[in-house]
Amino acid sequence: MRYWSLIYAVALAVVSGAAQESPLQWLQRAQQAESQRAVAGVRVVELQVGRTWQRIEERFWRQGARAERIEIVAPAARQGDVLLLRDGRWVVYRPAAKQAYELPRVPLQSTQLIQLAIELAQKGIVLAELGGESSVAGRTCVEVRLRLTRPTLTRPAASDKRPAFPFAVTLWLDKETGLILRRELAMRPSTPAMRVEITQLDLNPRLSPELFTLPAGVVVRPLEGDYKTVEEAQRAVPFPIRTPTYLPPNTTLERVLVRYRPMQETPLVILHYRTPTARFSLFQARQRGELSPWKPRKPHQRLNTLFWREGDYAFGLVGDLPQAELGRIANSLRRATPQE
């Protein structure tokens, strides 16, 4: 009898110890699991863009923090696209077109998010709390809630190179492995901005090195840059850059900017022009599927603007030229036929 009592007491102590792990200990377990374990599966990503939510279904293969492959299943406009983490950078690869583009900025990854949370929690900047248990992908999870003690810290000083931490983060950690099976990020109080949930999980899969490499001959092109000519910029842009056939007399092209847009796969191209008496800029973007509208949030009162769509292109003209001149430039773009 005494023997069984001792066994029961030891088992109870082990279970109680696991249940009493602190939030910081759970984060450390998650950091170790996310950075070391090989996993594969299916997940759903939901992103808030403006007032709407975008839903993305993905298959993924991950070799700890070293390499990851993501294949887009839905929406249909992005189906088949592949994201690869290789050599510390993310690349978008489109097998049908045999094209690859480097992503200059991506949201905080799991390992980065946890590492930052641990550092800020140890400094008292982030408050970590344990929630209850729930089931994700058929596995028991422990909920860990993180929130900033001072929300103003979501905007670090310009000299601070550390990535900004969201206002609040909720993590659902697998009780057995410590892996993050679900996470929810909010940039403002009671306003979730991103949800990621694993719906199928394969632990310790066999992952071939070829999963994380590009096919031979595929060149990775940058998505950002500052160029002197349209021809130079075109090498970094996956769609034909449109140029007007009419420009005011003595107009010169100062530079061409190629800028990556958050939540968009294709860049925004900006052609900056100058005349002897004025300056103006031509904006253009192209996107497969539904085209999201875009405009400067607060146009300058002294500048004239003109925005329009043509097929899957979106255009904008902004400058201190007369509105009639902007119209002539726009009309010449409409008449021009893009070269695919």
Boundary (domain end) residue, out of 158, 179, 212: 212
> Is the same domain home to 48 and 129?
yes
Specify whether 28 is located in the same domain as 162.
yes
Query: Does residue 340 lie in a domain region?
Result: no
207 and 237 share one domain? no
Give the domain extent around 96: 20-212
Query: Which of 42, 35, 204, 27 lies closest to 119, judged by CA?
Result: 27
CB atoms within 10 A of CB 291: 15
Counted domains in the chain? 2
Pair (163, 90) in one structural domain: yes
Q: Can you tell me which residue has the tokens 């850059």?
A: 241
230 and 170 both lie in a single domain: no
The CB-based long-range contact list for 58-67 (8 Å cut-off, 24+ gap) reads: 61/205, 61/207, 61/211, 61/212, 62/38, 63/38, 63/207, 63/212, 64/34, 64/35, 64/36, 64/37, 64/38, 65/34, 65/35, 65/36, 65/109, 65/111, 67/211, 67/212
pLDDT tens by residue, the chain, 340 residues:
554 554 444 444 444 444 578 999 999 999 999 999 999 999 999 988 667 888 999 999 999 989 999 999 999 888 999 999 877 788 889 888 788 887 766 666 888 899 999 999 999 999 999 999 999 999 999 999 999 987 654 444 444 444 478 889 999 999 999 999 999 999 887 778 899 999 999 998 999 999 999 999 888 876 678 899 999 888 778 789 999 999 999 999 999 999 876 556 678 999 999 999 999 999 999 875 544 444 544 555 578 999 999 888 999 999 999 999 999 999 998 765 554 4
CATH of the domain at 287: 3.30.200.100
Residues 230, 197, single domain; the answer is no
Answer whether residue 195 is part of any domain. yes
Is the pTM higher than 0.75? no
Tokens of 244: 């007007």
A 10 A CB-CB count for 67 gives 18
**Is residue 14 a contact partner of residue 20, using CB atoms and an 8 Å limit?**
no
Provide the CATH number for the domain around residue 143: 2.50.20.10
Does one domain contain both 206 and 231? no
Same domain? For 203 and 125 the reply is: yes
Cα 286-288-290 angle, rounded to 5 deg: 95
